[in-house]
Amino acid sequence: MTAVIEQKIRVGFVTLGCDKNTVDNEYLAGLLKRDGMAVEVANEAAPPDVVVITTCGFLQAAKDQSKEEIRRWARVRKRAGTRLGVIGCLAQRSGEELLREIPEIDFLAGVGDFERVAKLVAGEGKSRFVTNTNGESWDLAQQSASAADETMTAQSDIDFDDRAFKKNAPRIVIPRTLPRQRMDRRPHGFLKISDGCNHTCTFCSIPLMKGVYSSVPRQVLLDETKRMLDDGVREINIVAQDITKYGLDLEKRMMLPELLNDLASLEGEFWLRLFYLYPSTVTKDLIAVMKAQPRIARYLDIPLQHLDEGVLRRMKRPHDRARTMDMLRMLRSELPGVTLRTTFIVGFPGESNDEFQTLLDAMDEIRFERLGVFTYSREEGTPAAQLPNQLPEKTKQRRKEKLMKRQAQISAEWAQAQIGTERTCLIEGRVPDSDWYVARSESEAADIDGVVRVRSARELHSGEFIRARISDADVYDLTAEII
């Protein structure tokens, strides 16, 4: 008798957008692997049985990229029979639009409902739902299974109610430890300590897609971190829309300093790196923990968005410029050598030449080591979209270019000042057929900052910490010799 070998369902992932989407896909991949499926990064050359695209809907450019990727895989679906699933922020916010424009989508889901999506991946037929305020799913429509090469063309078959999307606002809750499956072997990983946001910034669409702030329980985070460390991760990047508010919804107090102490007390050799701190809630307690815990990288990502009080007021951001500047000076004083990263939005409605100049002047004073710039994007459903004096795209682009040109000078001057200094670096990988390695120090975050190029006569390994002396520098990258 010939044994029948059951083929595993191959599920390929496409991850768009922020690091929080990376975490969400790892949750889903862990559930699918637990259920006996094979998970991988989606490859068009070898199409999987099911492709799951996690979308971003934050800015128009991100929405366009998500739609382009969905259409690309819709063509693969027609050719290879791959089932096509679309999940995440753009699906949450614009599910009706996606289904009307790209009827080849086999299933569509909003944010946070990982176990429901895992069942859809394993099943057949068509289903669409978003996540509601109770963390449950709300079905948009049900349609019987169809052959893989069929497309949905009869728009009358689907009954949509856009009011239901707005009424059923999402809420993402992680009440227990979920299995996670990383999709690469890089030595850094992401710990999402909360999701959603309670801030009411007038330019931001994230609350429309992610709902209210929801912290992940402390024990779940400790469990996830231990598993990542056991899996070879040596840098834990702590992410959320606003990590400073961690715990406020759980115990009515901000618990980030306590969480950091707990994480830094785990066994092993690793770094913790902090992303996305709201400027008005960077506290002295947080700074004290950073001073006391050498495992916390002296690197802070604090998205300020602007530094003119008038613009900040229209953005509904903390608009006490003096307090913000005092906070930044305090960080420089209390944490010598700290690397400060921020992001700015230029071209916000009504931004005058004088307001833009205020931003430039503040850059010259604070001299951020790392800085990103976005041009304002007029997002449907946000209060800023209704503001008068919307600026032309040419003005936005011109101001962005001027800001980035100034930042390049600041970054180059900082990099030159590092020559001769010694640093601990984390090895990311080797340049093929050479004695050069790609590494990062505390001052370089993965994927968004520069790198440290290290030359070593002895073999180094990904995930290894080494000491190196900086020997050269360009605008964003450093060159070093191993000590």
For the segment 184-204, what is each residue's pLDDT rounded down to a tens digit? Answer: 999 999 999 999 999 999 999
Q: pLDDT for 8-46, tens place per residue? A: 899 999 999 999 999 999 999 999 999 999 999 999 999
pTM (predicted TM-score): 0.89
- What pLDDT, on the 0 to 100 scale, is given for residue 418? 97
Q: Residue 73 pLDDT more than 70? A: yes
Q: Which two tokens stand for residue 234?
A: 């040596």
Question: What count of residues does the chain have?
Answer: 483
Tell me the mean pLDDT in the region 50-61. Answer: 94
pLDDT beyond 80 at 140 = no
| Whether pLDDT at 175 is above 80 | yes
Q: Please determine, looking at this structure, whether the domain spanning 188-417 carries the CATH number 3.80.30.20.
A: yes
362 contact partners, CB below 8 Å, separation of at least 6: 307, 321, 325
Q: Domain residue spans in the chain? A: 10-167, 188-417, 422-482
Q: Which residues of 68-106 are buried (b: 16+ CB within 10 A; e: fewer)?
A: ebbeebbebbeebebbbbbbbbbbbbbbbebbeebbbbb
| CATH fold for the domain made of 10-167 | Rossmann fold (3.40.50)
pLDDT tens sequence across 206-223: 988 998 999 999 999 999
Read off the pLDDT of residues 81-95 as tens digits, 9 standing for 90 and up.
999 999 999 999 898
Q: Using the CB atoms, write b or e for 333-354: b if 16+ within 10 Å.
A: eebeebbbbbbbbbbbbebeee
Q: Is the pLDDT of residue 379 over 50?
A: yes
- Judge contact between 99 and 162, C-beta under 8 A: no
Tokens linked to 243: 């990590």
* pLDDT, average across residues 311-318: 95
CATH number assigned to the domain with residue range 422-482, chosen from the 4 options 2.60.120.430, 3.30.1330.10, 2.40.50.140, 3.40.50.300: 2.40.50.140
Positive or negative torsion for Cα 408, 413, 419, 425: negative
Q: Does residue 402 carry a pLDDT above 70?
A: yes
The whole-number pLDDT of residue 173 equals 87
- Rounded mean pLDDT of the chain? 89
pLDDT attached to residue 153: 28
Q: Give residue 96's pLDDT.
A: 86
At 208 the pLDDT is 87
Express each pLDDT in 426-469 by its tens digit.
Answer: 999 999 999 999 999 999 999 999 999 999 999 999 999 999 99
Radius of gyration, alpha carbons of the chain: 23
Q: List C-alpha distances in Å: 161 to 95, 151, 165.
A: 11, 22, 7
Q: Are 13 and 22 in contact (CB under 8 A)?
A: no
**Is residue 127 scored above 90 in pLDDT?**
no
How far, in Å, CA of 428 to CA of 185, rounded? 10
Residue 411, pLDDT > 60, answer yes
Is residue 236 within 8 A of residue 187, CB to CB? The reply is: no
Query: How confident is the model over 297-307, as pLDDT tens digits?
Result: 999 999 999 99
Cα–Cα distance, 103 to 124 (Å, whole number): 16
Q: Are 216 and 243 in contact (CB under 8 A)?
A: no
pLDDT, residue 139, reads: 55
> Once rounded to an integer, what is the mean pLDDT over residues 392-404?
98
Q: Look at residue 142 and tell me whether its pLDDT is greater than 50.
A: no
